[in-house]
């Protein structure tokens, strides 16, 4: 490893200041330092793996679109000391891991085209009343209490029920999904046993559901058909989707669409509650039934403190140069979306939250061929959740000192463990 300047804050480990508790609470000063002094920085991750962190916007965009950087973990030149415990998904080549985020063209092109046919913007738009109903029902659950933990009571259940509905998981099974997903989030970096069991249960359930839906599939497509049925139909029409790929697809939709949206609602609400002037502007515009500030505002919240801190793993398949730094084949590359989205070379006054920001091509949903497939659904959920919260609970306020809030200490995602709030109790709307 070449000698490099070190980030300023002191802390344990080979990279002082990175991956500590303080860093998890506010990683932005360390990212600002990296962007300026070591924009493509080789670091040792807590798992022991060495990887390159890319922090400047221009480099990040280039890396996300560079097809010499593979998504397939077979290209990882895994060091012997880290074997089997790197936390790189798909490393163990589990069946559910052959999904969009772990594959390259031509398989990626084929699978993405196929799922895009089932996951259309029209289908998402038709889903808006259901997302509104879910949102209201969840708020009804705590509105009379005057206090809530917005992660547990709201941000967490909303996306899992929404994506289950969209996939076509029957209502009576959705609580099982919620519990498996909870286990995967809560213990994602903890005890392996619980996660493995949850993944196994989810895999068994999805295989069985796909089988049952195939038996019951009507000959002519129903316009309101669920996503899993749409995938099976494509499979039955010879589009070369194996049953395992269908299960992996359902799994990645659940997985990619879950913790991300929890964090959009959690981080977004937190940012609004700690920026009273911006929040007041949004509330006033919602009271006038305007949607413009809500739309630009949710994009700004994604840029300012987005759910995906680092894009998922990439591995160099050939020698690549990023930001003047040579990267050898087999090396992992992690694009730090949270750092790129605060780059002053790209965004004016990047550390300020400005809900009406216009020139805002942020990387919160990624870029290139792996650009978030679920972005329209995420926008729908984020906008509905924030608008309904602020309208129904107009005096919503934090019930904790921001310094006491704990952030999940994961590598890829950024989100709060809890978000205690209080407000004047509201009557039930009967949803
Ligand atoms: C990919 C962010 C919600 C499904 C991605 C990527 C990002 C991202 C950054 C690219 C990762 C990379 O290149 O390494 C987000 C954020 C969300 C969100 C911030 C919420 C605010 C959703 C939802 C779904 C979804 C609701 C689906 C239900 C996917 C899928 C991919 C993806 C399937 C892989 C696409 C591919 O590889 O072609 N997302 N996502 N996401 N997202 Fe999202």
Number of residues assigned to the chain? 431
Residue 223 C-alpha to ligand 1 middle, in angstroms? 25
Q: Are 126 and 225 in contact (CB under 8 A)?
A: no
424 CA → ligand 1 middle, Å = 36
Ligand 1 pocket test: which of 256, 302, 312 has the largest number of ligand atoms within 8 Å of its C-beta? 256
Determine which residue's CA is closest to atom 31 belonging to ligand 1.
Answer: 372
Residue 240 Ramachandran class (φ > 0 left, ψ -120 to 50 alpha, else beta): left
Does the beta carbon of 254 lie inside 6 Å of ligand 1? no
Taking the mean position of all CA atoms in its chain, how far away is CA 112? Answer: 18
Phi, psi of 339 (to 5 degrees): -80, -45
CB 21 within 8 A of CB 409: yes
Tokens, residue 317: 């398949």
Tell me which residue of 316, 332, 407 sits closest to 86, measured CA to CA: 332
For ligand 1, say whether the CB of 253 is within 6 Å of any of its atoms: yes
Give the pLDDT of residue 189: 46
Helix (H, G, I), strand (E, B) or coil at 423: coil
Kindly provide the ipTM of the predicted complex, given to two decimals: 0.99
List average pLDDT for each run of 10 residues in the chain, which is 431 residues long.
44 57 88 94 88 97 97 74 52 62 89 83 88 96 97 94 91 90 65 72 87 82 79 68 77 88 97 98 97 97 97 95 96 97 98 97 98 95 98 97 88 93 85 62
Phi, psi of 53 (to 5 degrees): -100, 125
379 vs 165: CA distance, rounded Å: 17
CA angle, corner 348, sides to 346 and 352, nearest 5?
Answer: 120
CA distance 160 to 138: 12
């Amino acid at each position: 490893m070449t000698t490099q300047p070190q980030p300023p804050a002191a802390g344990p480990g080979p990279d002082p200041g990175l991956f500590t508790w303080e860093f998890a609470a506010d990683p932005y000063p360390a990212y600002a330092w990296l962007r300026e002094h070591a924009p493509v920085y080789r670091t040792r991750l807590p798992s022991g793996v060495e990887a390159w962190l890319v922090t400047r916007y221009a480099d990040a965009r280039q890396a996300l679109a560079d097809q010499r950087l593979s998504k397939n973990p077979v290209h990882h030149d895994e060091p012997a000391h880290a074997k089997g415990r790197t936390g790189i998904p798909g490393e163990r080549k589990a069946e559910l891991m052959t999904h969009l985020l772990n594959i390259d063209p031509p398989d990626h092109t084929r699978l993405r085209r196929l799922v895009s046919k089932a996951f259309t913007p029209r289908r998402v738009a038709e889903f808006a009343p259901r997302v509104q109903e879910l949102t209201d029902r969840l708020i009804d659950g705590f509105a009379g209490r005057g206090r809530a933990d917005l992660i547990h009571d709201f941000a967490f259940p909303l996306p899992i029920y929404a994506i289950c509905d969209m996939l076509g998981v029957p209502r009576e099974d959705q609580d099982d999904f919620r519990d498996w997903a909870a286990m995967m989030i809560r213990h994602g970096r903890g005890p392996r046993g619980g996660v493995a069991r949850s993944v196994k249960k989810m895999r068994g359930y999805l295989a069985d559901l796909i089988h049952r839906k195939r038996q019951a599939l009507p000959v002519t497509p129903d316009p309101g058909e669920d996503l899993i049925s749409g995938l099976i139909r494509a499979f039955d029409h010879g589009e070369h989707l194996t049953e395992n790929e269908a299960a992996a697809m359902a799994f990645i939709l659940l997985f990619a669409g879950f913790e991300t949206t929890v964090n959009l609602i959690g981080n977004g609400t937190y940012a609004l509650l700690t920026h009273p002037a911006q929040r007041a502007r949004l509330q006033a515009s919602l009271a006038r039934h305007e949607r413009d500030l809500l739309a630009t505002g949710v994009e700004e919240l994604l840029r300012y403190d987005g759910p995906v801190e680092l894009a998922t793993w990439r591995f160099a398949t050939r020698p690549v140069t990023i930001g003047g730094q040579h990267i050898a084949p087999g090396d992992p590359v992690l694009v730090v979306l949270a750092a790129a989205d605060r780059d002053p070379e790209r965004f004016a006054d990047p550390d300020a939250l400005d809900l009406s920001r216009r020139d805002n091509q942020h990387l919160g949903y990624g870029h290139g061929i792996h650009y978030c497939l679920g972005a329209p659904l995420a926008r729908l959920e984020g906008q509905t959740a924030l608008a309904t919260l602020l309208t129904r609970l107009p005096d919503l306020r934090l019930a904790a000192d921001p310094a006491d809030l704990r952030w999940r200490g994961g590598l890829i995602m950024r989100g709060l463990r809890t978000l205690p709030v209080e407000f004047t109790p509201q009557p039930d709307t009967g949803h």
